[in-house]
Amino acid sequence: MGAHFVCHNVVDVYGLFEEETANHLGVTAGPLISQDGYRKDSRASGFGSYQWGIAPALKPNDLLGIAQTRADLWGAGLHDFMRTATRHLASMSALCETLPAPENRIELTSAKDRFGLPLARIVRNADAEGRALADAVTHEGIALLKAAGAGEAWQGILATSHPLGGTVMGRTPEDSVTDSYGRVHGVENLLVAGGGLFPTAGGGSPTFTLLALAERSAEAVLSAA
């Protein structure tokens, strides 16, 4: 238990355009989606799926805000950039698959909380395929923005999102923690729900898969009651 922790690498790319982009409009997730390169082997290097979210609404300053796109700027330089970017910036974000290596895991430490329970920590290293995929997607995103007319385009900080795995589902205790309904192998009436069941991350948001999996598991529990 705890092995095969996995998450998405998030590639953000940005471009400044001469025309105004109205980047404050919309929702704070890509209202346009491209899966043109979703096949895991669709490129020369970097195995894995990915999905672009295009043109999310941008606020001046939050987790996905305009100011965060240029972490190297501060003071007068940041003010000058913000005056331009609030009207002329566009962005794209890609969710990139990483491989569920067994050494990437959630494990207990010797430290304890105030109730005497051991604290957990995540051990994760970026695999070579994941790094190569993120690099390929970054180059693609910058090229797309320039082809669309951006006078300047750049990449943001590589981030991670959507923690998954650690209690993966499968067929046997040798290769998984639970069955496909989240029932823990060898333990009666103990079930796991949520993203911990995912054996891999894929290249898209896990939200709808999580909902479908939760509904399926709930129906199995009710039918067995």
pLDDT tens digits along 114-156: 999 999 999 998 889 999 999 999 999 999 999 999 999 999 9
Q: Per-residue pLDDT averaged across 186-209, rounded?
A: 92
Radius of gyration of the chain (CA): 21
User: How far apart, in Å, are the Cα atoms of 15 and each of 79, 105, 156, 184?
Assistant: 17, 36, 11, 48
pLDDT of residue 43: 80
Q: Report pTM.
A: 0.88
Round the average pLDDT of the chain to a whole number and report it. 93
pLDDT of residue 74: 93
Q: Is the pLDDT of residue 179 over 80?
A: yes
- Report angle CA 23, 28, 30 to the nearest 5 degrees: 80
Q: Which of 4, 8, 88, 162 is catalytic?
A: 162
pLDDT of residue 30: 84
Q: Per-residue pLDDT averaged across 165-177, rounded?
A: 94
pLDDT of residue 135: 95
pLDDT of residue 16: 98
pLDDT of residue 64: 81
Q: For residue 162, indicate whether it is catalytic.
A: yes
Burial (0-12, 13-18, 19+ Cβ within 10 Å), 32: exposed
Q: Per-residue pLDDT averaged across 204-224, rounded?
A: 92
